[in-house]
Homo-oligomer: A and B are copies of this chain.
Amino acid sequence: MGASTEGGWTYSRSGVDRGAVAGSLARLLAQVHGSSVPSHGRPVHLPGHYAGLIRIGRETIAITTDTIGTKGLLAEEVGAWEGVGEDIVAVNVNDLASVGARPSALVDTISVAKPSPEVFEQIGRGLDRGLRTAGITLLGGETAVVPELVHGYDLGGTAIGFFPRGRRPVTGSGIRPGDIVLGVPSSGVHANGLTLVRRLLREHRIDLAAPRPGGPGPVGLELLNPTRIYSPVSEAVADRPEVQGFAHISGGGVRNLARLSGRVAFVLDHWPVVPSLFRWIQELGAVASNEMFQTFNMGIGFAIVSRPRRLSETLRRLARAGAADALVIGHVERGRGVRLPDHDLAYPAY
């Protein structure tokens, strides 16, 4: 057990120091003044910054880039790659879904120490399934064989999307007290918190091929279950005037809601029972709830902020789009940040 008993694991102690990332990134961005030439398209400022937007001709194009992080290392340990192929699509189109953009195409990036045809085939199978679910096409990609630079597989991609005629980006700017927060369940840990999870698996010598207590199958495969794709969810309600904001509950957990508006408080007082997978992880590392909810999705992978009116119509549309499991998880109040009263948690900001 060792270090893990001294107050429990945090994501920072597992090797990911959010403060260091933010500090370094700030230094980079301070240098980038860019050069936005009007004839090259006009950037659209978007406070939530899940995706970047640029106006080209009459279209507004949304772009987002993301990797699956260390989930590929787990795929390597388990020897199952199809799920992470699907994750490449999911982590990107879910960020497009968060601004209400209809996804259009993906390019993938594979940095690899040594390419294996079998692994590539499995990744391709997962990619294809993700592309079909999102209704998009693979427009290209880059495969870099860089054994000195990476271990195993560093998998990522970039997705672009657009706003169908008449639809405006869903930014959260209209969110106000009295709105409700709907949640759409996740399909597992998705692609977040894996560095911490893998530390715990190693430390406790967990057999990836065996189920955890009460688990549905080998825990390795359970953790590799691909990220749920929320594009159909977003598409189903993005044009509704009631809908004010979307949040992809990815890295940063529920704090992502605070990215939508800094002028209100999101009170998540109907959070559903946390799936047993997360409770098992929490116990394994004696991880504080505060840390769990800002590292993992804790059962809800996508949130929708809406006026309370016409809720049954919204739920009907979500059900038709494959999200019959959507539910009300909270509401918006005066204040700031994100609160989970049942868990005694309060995050003052993103």
Residue A212 at the B interface, CB < 8 A?
no
Residue A205 at the B interface, CB < 8 A?
no
Residue with the greatest number of chain B CB neighbours at <10 A, chosen from A23, A121, A138, A158: A158
Q: Min CB distance, A290 to chain B, in Å?
A: 21
Among A104-112, A170-178, A281-289, A294-302, the stretch that binds chain B is A104-112
Residue of B nearest to A29 (CB): B124
User: Residue-by-residue, is A144-163 near B (CB-CB < 8 Å gives 1, otherwise 0)?
Assistant: 11111111101011101010
Residue A21 at the B interface, CB < 8 A?
yes
Residue A16 at the B interface, CB < 8 A?
yes
Known contacts A54-B105, A59-B56: A16-B145 contact under CB 8 Å: yes
Chain A contacts with B in 92-142, Cβ cutoff 8 A: 102-105, 107-109, 111, 114-121, 123-125, 127-128, 131-142
The reply to whether B160 and A31 contact each other, CB–CB distance below 8 Å, is no
The majority secondary structure among interface residues of chain A is mixed
Residue of B nearest to A66 (CB): B142
The reply to whether B52 and A105 contact each other, CB–CB distance below 8 Å, is yes
Copies in the complex: 2
Residue A64 at the B interface, CB < 8 A?
yes
Residue A310 at the B interface, CB < 8 A?
no
Residue of B nearest to A23 (CB): B117
Q: How long is the Cα–Cα vector from A90 to B125 in the complex, in angstroms?
A: 32
The reply to whether A61 and B64 contact each other, CB–CB distance below 8 Å, is no
Residue A43 at the B interface, CB < 8 A?
yes
| A interface residues, tally (CB under 8 Å) | 95
Known contacts A35-B135, A41-B162: A58-B57 contact under CB 8 Å: yes
21 contacting pairs across A/B (C-beta < 8 A): A20-B115, A20-B145, A21-B115, A24-B143, A28-B123, A35-B132, A36-B136, A39-B135, A40-B135, A52-B140, A59-B61, A61-B104, A63-B139, A63-B160, A65-B158, A73-B149, A111-B150, A142-B156, A144-B156, A148-B151, A150-B154
Q: Which residues of A contact B (CB under 8 A)?
A: 15-17, 20-21, 23-25, 27-37, 39-41, 43, 49, 51-54, 56-59, 61, 63-67, 69-70, 72-73, 102-105, 107-109, 111, 114-121, 123-125, 127-128, 131-152, 154, 156-158, 160, 162, 164-165, 195, 198
